[in-house]
Structure 1
């Protein structure tokens, strides 16, 4: 299962007349972090975007701890059958599950429900870089994986590191040989790129919006399944250039594993209906995410297959012993 097939999958077909409210009395979205971060953003999209779908407003509750681990464990112990609550997750959460950072529970212990939207990885260099095309960079990766200095806002094993690892793997190079510099955030990594401390920045498309007009950086490729809409339609995907690499920064929601099928379907129907509304599309755009509309059992199955794929990659890269 590839990320391409995941993103391209059809949304679960549902009627748009509205969900069965009887299954959800007090809708709640758990943001497994302090207020103000990405999980908060994800829950706010649900709170606003699903407002027309429920009789009551969705309450947002914050549950920080272990970058999602506390909430993940709670919904595997005392709230496994809660029909009212959904929990926000990101691609980073999926990677944490794959590498065992959430403890004894894994992807088969929850039910993945729906997506809020997505961003996509990007391969970025300085405007005056010697690398004018992705092919040139990939040739150097293949010849000497440690000869190119790569940096990003995340440690070894993070989402950003994984982007570079996948690129090396696509040309048969060992991801462990990558010369990778970790920064505290994307801002520091961009400063290092512009200052010449690193040669390639493994960033995200969304964060490049404010930098494109400055003309200081160049996107060699986006790690999306197909070309994006303007202003990013000018940039090729790694896939179309012949490299089977993509990275979808997904934001979405899961529920406890023992939730009834009726309650699960109520939420899935609510998301499927909301995807068609102007309210949902507007709040997603305001929060800086791009469309990625998947809900229901098909989404659950494909996320679990994606985690298994991430686990294989992490094992191959030496992140799992």
Structure 2
């Protein structure tokens, strides 16, 4: 099977085998080159699965870059649909791209999302001298004059950063979301610079992007988009506790082939829950700036279904998809 992958995809696949003499029973596909978030997910979860003896042999990590995850997704759907020893790293970017038809007609229901066990929390941030003291202040200002507040974010228009303020305004009962100004820049640091410099009134991004700026006092976070306040940042209120039922986190998790049995799906959910509960994973989250966010099995799949549906609706409203 590995030879056929290489033949089909050529140099776009890098096999990271570790000890070449080992036998493999489980494979984790990271849909990107080594070093990124999906690669981290496969390597860290794979290591803990083996350390906890949840799998019999070390987990093979296969880096399968291309089309923002689309190459790996197509490979799983078309060639590995019943492989119960296959797991694939995923994140919020995966579901956003699927919802926006970025994988050439592929849809989220062609695989099964087995769980997420950590997340980079979404945040809404303003400059330290901003007149907005709360998320409510900002929402009311936008309702009164939608053009008065521009958001900077590290994703393109229609991407995950853009969706965060749109979700908040929708939760506030504001429907003219095309009127909300968003400027996509090259990463979170640039988005912070735009906001601190006064070129935009707010930044939409992830917690990991703003930690240093919060510590230096250059910005103030109006809300974190998690279910509960983030450990270590307990002074930042959630959007929920301010009256906006929005959870938007860049979760780290896995999907599996759709054609595996319910028993195998539940087995992977139980394994992932065991990883989430381990001290080793908790240490990895702290070391890599992730917040607790655990949803596995049917609960996670139902949550994903709703996230995809909401993303489709918003994407149509702003014209990203028809």
Residue pair 1:167, 1:243 contacting (<8 A) in 2 also: yes
Q: Quick one: structure 1 residues 295 and 264, their matched pair in 2 at CA, closer, same or farther if it must change by over 3 Å?
A: same
CA distance in 1, matches of 2:270, 2:246: 32
CA distance in 2, matches of 1:263, 1:165: 37
- The aligned residue for residue 204 of structure 1 is 206
Residue pair 2:27, 2:87 contacting (<8 A) in 1 also: yes
After superposing the two structures, state which structure 1 stretch, 237-246 or 97-106, moved more: 237-246
After superposing the two structures, state which structure 1 stretch, 300-309 or 102-111, moved more: 300-309
Residue pair 1:79, 1:256 contacting (<8 A) in 2 also: yes
State the 1:147 CA deviation.
1.8
Instruction: Tell me the alpha carbon deviations over residues 243-271 of structure 1, each in whole angstroms, 9 at most, x when there is no partner.
Output: 23331221111011112334323322211
- The aligned residue for residue 167 of structure 2 is 166
CA distance in 2, matches of 1:173, 1:143: 13
CA distance in 1, matches of 2:127, 2:25: 50
Residue pair 2:189, 2:209 contacting (<8 A) in 1 also: no
- The aligned residue for residue 182 of structure 2 is 180
CA RMSD of aligned residues (A): 1.8
- The aligned residue for residue 62 of structure 2 is 61
- The aligned residue for residue 121 of structure 2 is 120
- The secondary structure found in structure 2 opposite 1:244 is coil
Instruction: Tell me the alpha carbon deviations over residues 72-115 of structure 1, each in whole angstroms, 9 at most, x when there is no partner.
Output: 11111011111111111111111111111112221211011121
State the 1:237 CA deviation.
1.4
CA distance in 1, matches of 2:300, 2:149: 37
Matched, 1:32 2:31: yes
- The secondary structure found in structure 2 opposite 1:197 is coil
Instruction: Tell me the alpha carbon deviations over residues 198-250 of structure 1, each in whole angstroms, 9 at most, x when there is no partner.
Output: 110002123322222211110111112222222x1111112211223331221
* Structure 1 residue ranges (4+ consecutive) displaced by more than 4 angstroms after TM superposition: none
- The secondary structure found in structure 1 opposite 2:124 is strand
- The aligned residue for residue 19 of structure 2 is none
Give the gaps of 5 or more residues in structure 1: 1-23
TM-score calculated relative to the size of structure 2: 0.87
- The aligned residue for residue 12 of structure 1 is none
Larger relative contact order (C-alpha < 8 A, sep ≥ 6)?
A: 1
State the 1:61 CA deviation.
0.7
Instruction: Tell me the alpha carbon deviations over residues 36-91 of structure 1, each in whole angstroms, 9 at most, x when there is no partner.
Output: 11111211221222222222111111001111111111111011111111111111
Q: Quick one: structure 1 residues 296 and 133, their matched pair in 2 at CA, closer, same or farther if it must change by over 3 Å?
A: closer
Give the gaps of 5 or more residues in structure 2: 1-22
Residue pair 1:275, 1:293 contacting (<8 A) in 2 also: yes
The number of aligned residues is 297
- The aligned residue for residue 15 of structure 1 is none
Matched, 1:237 2:243: no
TM-score calculated relative to the size of structure 1: 0.87
CA distance in 2, matches of 1:25, 1:299: 28
- The aligned residue for residue 293 of structure 1 is 294
Matched, 1:194 2:193: no
CA distance in 1, matches of 2:182, 2:318: 13
CA distance in 2, matches of 1:78, 1:160: 33
Matched, 1:140 2:103: no
- The secondary structure found in structure 2 opposite 1:34 is coil
CA distance in 2, matches of 1:227, 1:93: 25
- The aligned residue for residue 42 of structure 2 is 43
After superposing the two structures, state which structure 1 stretch, 246-255 or 171-180, moved more: 171-180
CA distance in 2, matches of 1:199, 1:100: 31
- The aligned residue for residue 310 of structure 1 is 311
Residue pair 1:45, 1:284 contacting (<8 A) in 2 also: no
CA distance in 1, matches of 2:294, 2:151: 32
- The secondary structure found in structure 1 opposite 2:29 is strand
- The secondary structure found in structure 2 opposite 1:75 is helix
